[in-house]
Amino acid sequence: MEKQFGKFGGQYVPQEIVKELNGLEVAFNEAINDPSFMEEYRYYLKQFVGRPSPLYYAERLTKELGGAKIYLKREDLNHTGAHKINNTVGQILLAKRMGKKKVIAETGAGQHGVATATSAALFGMECEIFQGQIDMDRQRLNVFRMEMLGAKVTSVDSGTKTLADAVDYAIGKWVERIDDTFYLLGSAVGPHPYPTIVKYFQKIIGEEAIKQIQQQENCLPDYLIACVGGGSNAIGLFTEFLPHKEVKMIGVEAAGKGLDTKDHAATLTLGKEGVIHGMNTKVIMDEDGNISPVYSISAGLDYPGVGPEHAHLQDIKRVTYEAITDKEAVSAFLKLSKTEGIIPAIESSHAIAYTIKLAPTLDKDKIIIVNLSGRGDKDVESIKKYLTVE
């Protein structure tokens, strides 16, 4: 297995961790080549997560925009309301297979923490989640959810007290307990083999979508569009389509308050090559090479790095990356809610916002698949607040 995607990826971690990562890679390769493991993974995706998720033709949105046909891949209908559960179920089965008794994970807004706590409860594993103090205050409801699911939530008070520091802290704790503890990473980021493992457990999204579009339209789509935080829902949709050169792909990052301000999280648009969380990738940093604080209305896109495979796909020009502001995302959030009766996650609303710009410029026989990575119930309060302040 390649440790790199072009010049991106790798393992920029202490020696003790490299040893564990090598063991993890071996265990992962054995697992995915073991039919009984894959059968169990597919069983829980079907019976617990509720897959396959529908590929839904957004007829009213399409008509209103007057251009390309828009299909939504409904990851919002999964148990726990987003794509993250595909990965946590896969990794928890791997942890169990490796004989680990405990799982730890980082979380920002708490979405990955909730998905991890859910999967840990499913298999009776001890679970500890590390979350920045500021994020814990901002996301009380998710803290209660994790606790109700039986997880311990530990606050991280270092640095910016948000996601980037929670990751560093969790990696530090992992080193101390490496023998019996599995680190369950939440996006297609981190040192090898994590980006590959997360991609593997998320690529079900594209595997289903390619079959569904062929059944419904008898052809491949012209465009795929997905939002990019760390990049797991995007790589999950893209992977199966990558060999089909005629399918164009667009990843959508958070432009926050604007690309001309400091308040954004547009890593691939404005970042530079650098190392963060054990990988070489694109990073948002200042003139001295320090990681800069990032901002987005969407907690799930608020990350100063990005998955190394996306940095590579941008480098080789296979995927294009665009950025959408808070304002555009909120307007797309309201638009999809009103035209389709689907309240999207504010993260997914970034992908919808770009679709709203692109679709009217395309002919009516073109097809766009948008990954609706999650549902927006968690966001209604902050959208309401945003609209009141505006």
For the annotated catalytic residues, the residue numbers are 84, 106, 373
d(Cα 160, Cα 374) in Å, to the nearest integer?
Answer: 26
Residue nearest to ligand PLP (CB): 374
Q: What is the DSSP letter of 86?
A: H
Which one, 340 or 347, has the nearer CB to ligand PLP? 347
Please state at what angle helix 380-389 crosses helix 326-340, rounded to 10 degrees.
120
Q: The tokens 């072009």 sit on which residue?
A: 6
Strands of the sheet with 272-276, listed across from one edge: 4-5, 8-9, 279-283, 272-276
d(Cα 88, Cα 106) in Å, to the nearest integer?
Answer: 12
Which one, 11 or 371, has the nearer CB to ligand PLP? 371
**Angle value at C-alpha 54, between 204 and 74, nearest 5 degrees:** 80
d(Cα 156, Cα 334) in Å, to the nearest integer?
Answer: 34
What does the CA dihedral 6, 12, 15, 18 come to, rounded to 10 degrees? -50
Which one, 37 or 238, has the nearer CB to ligand PLP? 238
Which one, 221 or 231, has the nearer CB to ligand PLP? 231
CB of 74 to ligand PLP, least distance (A): 12
Which residues of this protein are in contact with ligand PLP, per CB under 6 A? 82, 84, 111, 187, 227-234, 300-301, 345, 347-348, 373-374
CB of 176 to ligand PLP, least distance (A): 27
By C-alpha distance, which of 314, 19, 26, 46 is closest to 197? 26
CB of 55 to ligand PLP, least distance (A): 17
Which one, 91 or 348, has the nearer CB to ligand PLP? 348
Counting Cα atoms < 13 Å in the Cβ hemisphere of 373 gives 34
CB of 371 to ligand PLP, least distance (A): 8
CB of 191 to ligand PLP, least distance (A): 16
